Amino acid sequence: MESVKSQSYEVHINELAKAALNQHVAQKKYSKVFLLVDENTKEHCLPVLKNIFDGPVDAILEIASGEENKHIRTCLQLWEELSQLDGDRKSLLINLGGGVLTDMGGFVASTFKRGIDFINIPTTLLSMVDASIGGKTGVDLGSLKNQIGVINQPQMVLIFPEFLKTLDSRQTKSGYAEMLKHGLIQNKEYWKELTLEGNFAEAGCIQKSIAIKNEVVMQDPTEQGLRKILNYGHTLGHAIESYCLDNPNRTTLLHGEAIAVGMILEGYLSHELRGLSKLDLDEIKMGFLQHFDRVEFTEDDIDAILKLLKYDKKNSHGNVNFVLLQAIGEAVTDIKVPEELFHKAFAYYSE
């Protein structure tokens, strides 16, 4: 499986990943090799990694899984451990886990002794196809996501689809939503392939998604323009995700589940405002509903979600800018949406 060349590093898959890891660590002569896990990856992924990585590991650091631990306090604990374990500037940190772990481990490595090398081994589908590209590292500040962090590239990212066998299907589908987004914004053929074929959690599809995200990021490394298209489905999706998270009467949605709803809603806005055909729109709706249960929204829910949407964007003078589709595979950015269309979009979603 072909590797993907990103800014200063490569994303390798399966056999190439194994070879790249062992070769890199042997060549670099690190003073210490540290491995970061959480209780889940310690149980399910570490035994697999032991068959992949030949080199010695000097110490295993463990953090508790979950977004609620993605905090500077956890970083402080890790910095102190690295220091007590005699970590120096020639140490390596290998991050084995989902997006929370790789974001936080990347930040800890980027700031320990003004920066040590790190390697990311994402273990969820979402982190393989999303967090693996772009060099974003960081932690939350209270309830504000990713407020503290740096942009810094890992030495390499290694993808072993084998790890996905340890996830439940709801977790895997959450990553699938991001993969479908890659098709919708950039590559119609890939969208078709994903919706028609059953098995998306395999190396070929993962590689294609990574390559699409990478192409976008490489064309716009500083997030000035094109990169915004990666936000398709996320404007309404984030508001829905936050609403369900903060409302005790609602089941919490996974990130992918929320943006799946967002992508149907923003598909409808695309049809109304940017000429996305009714055929394409219905294909998008069916594509998602085939895998994701329809979520029920009352009028009160919708009003609360739209309020959140406006509050979230208060810095841009109350205007909400959307990424919309002209066709499947063709995204446009910075589109303002009249308020009355939002209710129509929810009506279409519920039909």
CB of residue 120 vs a second copy: minimum separation in angstroms? Answer: 17
Task: Determine the Cα–Cα distance for residues 247 and 110; give it in Å rounded to an integer.
Answer: 36
Among residues 14, 111, 172, 195, which is the contact residue for a second copy, using CB under 8 A? Answer: 111
Give the interface segment with a second copy, choosing from 149-157, 186-194, 287-295, 305-313 (CB under 8 A): 149-157
Instruction: Answer yes or no whether residue 149 interacts with a second copy by CB under 8 A.
Output: yes
Q: Which of 13, 268, 309 is nearest to 160 (CA)?
A: 13
Instruction: Answer yes or no whether residue 138 interacts with a second copy by CB under 8 A.
Output: yes
The active-site residue out of 114, 278, 317, 336 is: 114
Instruction: Compose the 50-79 pattern: x for residues touching a second copy by CB under 8 A, - for all others.
Output: ----------------------x--xx--x
Cα dihedral 164, 182, 217, 170 in deg (nearest 10): -30
Annotation says 12 is catalytic: no
Among residues 136, 181, 255, 271, which is the contact residue for a second copy, using CB under 8 A? Answer: 136
Task: Determine the Cα–Cα distance for residues 125 and 172; give it in Å rounded to an integer.
Answer: 6
Q: Which two tokens stand for residue 330?
A: 């063709």
Q: What are phi and psi of 203, to 5 degrees?
A: -50, -45
3 state SS of 143? coil
Q: Which two tokens stand for residue 51?
A: 């068959």
Annotation says 114 is catalytic: yes
Task: Determine the Cα–Cα distance for residues 200 and 183; give it in Å rounded to an integer.
Answer: 12
Among residues 2, 54, 68, 80, which is the contact residue for a second copy, using CB under 8 A? Answer: 80
Q: Which of 106, 176, 117, 175 is nearest to 146 (CA)?
A: 106
Among residues 14, 22, 31, 166, which is the contact residue for a second copy, using CB under 8 A? Answer: 31
- Cβ neighbours of residue 169 closer than 8 Å, sequence gap 6 or more: none
CB of residue 193 vs a second copy: minimum separation in angstroms? Answer: 33
Annotation says 223 is catalytic: yes
Instruction: Answer yes or no whether residue 44 interacts with a second copy by CB under 8 A.
Output: no
> Using an 8 Å Cβ cutoff, are 79 and 108 in contact?
yes
Instruction: Answer yes or no whether residue 196 interacts with a second copy by CB under 8 A.
Output: no
Among residues 144, 199, 224, 298, which is the contact residue for a second copy, using CB under 8 A? Answer: 144
Residues in the chain: 351
CB of residue 53 vs a second copy: minimum separation in angstroms? Answer: 24
Q: Which of residues 210-269 bind a second copy (CB under 8 A)?
A: none
Give the interface segment with a second copy, choosing from 22-30, 134-142, 230-238, 323-331 (CB under 8 A): 134-142
Helix (H) or strand (E) holding 348: helix 340-350
The 10 Å Cβ neighbour count of residue 24 is 18
Binding footprint of a second copy on the chain (CB under 8 A): 31, 72, 75-76, 79-80, 83, 86, 88, 110-115, 136-138, 141-142, 144, 146-151, 315
Residues with active-site annotation: 114, 136, 178, 213, 223, 227, 231, 234, 238, 255
